[in-house]
Structure 1
Amino acid sequence: MFLYNKIRFVWEVKLLKQYLNLSLENQVPIEIIYLSKCGEFSQRKVLVRRISKEKVVAYCYLRNQIRSFSLDQILSASWSKKIKVS
């Protein structure tokens, strides 16, 4: 059985929520590291659509569809690399 330590520092949660909120407010993609229910790590580029107390609904560029992510399974978030469009 896969065990995952869910203990987080308060500043980690606040920083994660800042990235999620800024993505939502400015419609800017972010990169997240996510731990699936099966215990597999996944890196996703997402555009946040909605944030609730326990879940984030976002457009996932990997799956090309709207996906739901559990907040406690998102391990990190950062700005997505910009793609130059000509």
Structure 2
Amino acid sequence: MRQFVQFSLDEQKPIEIIYLSKKGVISQRKILVKQFVNKQVIAYCFKRHQIRSFTLEQILSARRLFSKIA
């Protein structure tokens, strides 16, 4: 997961994650990483339309998003 988070931070491109909340709820999110410090990911969440904090260990999967070619 770390490489996808770092990619989003370095390239300022969104990634898609599957996240397990502390309450045990799984969600799919599109995020744009703003900071990555001590296993804490600070990112803009497109689902909630605000800056959110994610714990790296609770990111179950991540992938790059690719633009559609017209």
- The structure with the largest alpha-carbon Rg is 1
- Which structure carries more relative contact order (alpha carbon 8 Å, separation 6+)? 2
The structure with more helix, counted as a fraction of residues: 1
The structure with more strand, counted as a fraction of residues: 2
Share of identical aligned residues, percent? 52
- The counterpart of 1:38, out of the listed 19, 23, 30, is 23
Alignment partner, residue 59 of structure 2: 74
Between the aligned partners of 1:83 and 1:64, the Cα distance in structure 2 is 23
**TM-score in terms of structure 2 length:** 0.91
Alignment partner, residue 8 of structure 2: 23
Moved over 6 A (4+): none
Contact 2:2–2:56 at 8 Å: present in 1 too? no
- Structural RMSD (CA): 1.3
Unaligned runs of 5+ in 1: 1-15
Contact 2:41–2:56 at 8 Å: present in 1 too? yes
Alignment partner, residue 45 of structure 2: 60
Between the aligned partners of 1:51 and 1:40, the Cα distance in structure 2 is 23
Give the aligned length. 69
Between the aligned partners of 1:33 and 1:82, the Cα distance in structure 2 is 20
Deviation at 1:79, TM superposition (A): 1.1
Counterpart AA for 2:15: I
Deviation at 1:81, TM superposition (A): 4.3
